Amino acid sequence: MTEPTPTPDAAASVAAVVRAAAMNQGEMYPCRLGVFCDRCLDTFESDFIVSTEMTPAERLGVVRKHVVKQLGWTCDQRGDYCPNCIPEKLAPEVLRLAAAEARQRGHDLQADWFETAADDHAGERGCAAEEGTQCTAERAALRTLASYGVEVPR
């Protein structure tokens, strides 16, 4: 009589059960993690040591921190970008365009806010956003212009 050959799914299930039983809570182990550029889709993958207690978001944070510090990527609320694709900050003119469009539609408070932000960006201090990030006014200007169907000049 021949021994039955386990199916790949059964073998994977058994391996997963054995691996889970062998790992104590909080044990560290190697894990293949990756992140891709939101613009060109270039992908970085590598092995990292993670904990069994880490959530998927925490694991993504591990690889993001690595690509930012070691490879010059930008990972923030705009997305994940390799060094060749990092979006530039908006010029004050784009904020002024958003202000004009908002004012034309009767949104005077929003227009005032965009004009103030444009003045701040054009001033000596510049934008108060953290380096490599986009400020709230810039994100709002982009959303506003998109909702109005206005093409954003770059």
Confidence of residue 39 (pLDDT cuts 50, 70, 90): confident
Q: Under a CB-based contact definition with an 8 Å cutoff, are residues 126 and 108 in contact? A: no
Burial 114-124 (b: 16+ CB within 10 A, else e): bbebbebbeee
pLDDT at res. 61: 92
What global pTM score does this model have?
0.47
- Residue 134 pLDDT more than 60? yes
pLDDT at res. 43: 94
pLDDT tens-digit map of 99-117? 999 999 999 999 999 898 8
Phi, psi dihedrals of residue 27, rounded to the nearest 5°? -65, 145
Confidence of residue 139 (pLDDT cuts 50, 70, 90): confident
Query: How far, in Å, CA of 138 to CA of 127, rounded?
Result: 10
- Residue 31 pLDDT more than 70? yes
Confidence of residue 77 (pLDDT cuts 50, 70, 90): low
Phi, psi dihedrals of residue 138, rounded to the nearest 5°? -65, -45
pLDDT at res. 151: 77
- Residue 22 pLDDT more than 70? no
pLDDT at res. 122: 78
